[in-house]
Structure 1
């Protein structure tokens, strides 16, 4: 049993090392495929914090204040969220009622 666990751990460590090595090789290959060093292409998502918060996703600038206003409007009322909350509450109350009923019958 101990030899099986030892072999399993050894194989897992080798696999983890292989995955990490493969990720590093893929990163190097992607950098070589570009053919030039461009610091703007390094990250897919970036947020710069300063006096004004700025964000970009895949090179497209995003207005965070506009997105925040849109989210506030969406959070005002969400039909699916409300329906889910009502459904969850009804199931919870039904389950409590059934468990209490069973508990009273067995006592």
Structure 2
């Protein structure tokens, strides 16, 4: 029994050392991919608020322009985008709604 426990303990220690070596190797690979050995990795998304209260956002190093929802809505209304699938879906939904309404009325009249 003691031989078994000793073998298990030795195997666990050996595997733990292997995990530590693998973590070190992975860290070195990440540093090699990045191209420099800067210790702190930058966040992909950043938000700052200046003293005027304006919020500036960056996404992957690119500055994101902020627009209000009303401006976006006006822009979409100006585009007057037509989506064929949307109109087909609406027509199909109205047709199915009408048919099911008529069926419900018919079965209700029988009862």
Pick the TM interval, shorter chain: 0.3 to 0.5
Find the structure with the greater CA-based Rg: 2
TM-score (normalizing by structure 1): 0.46
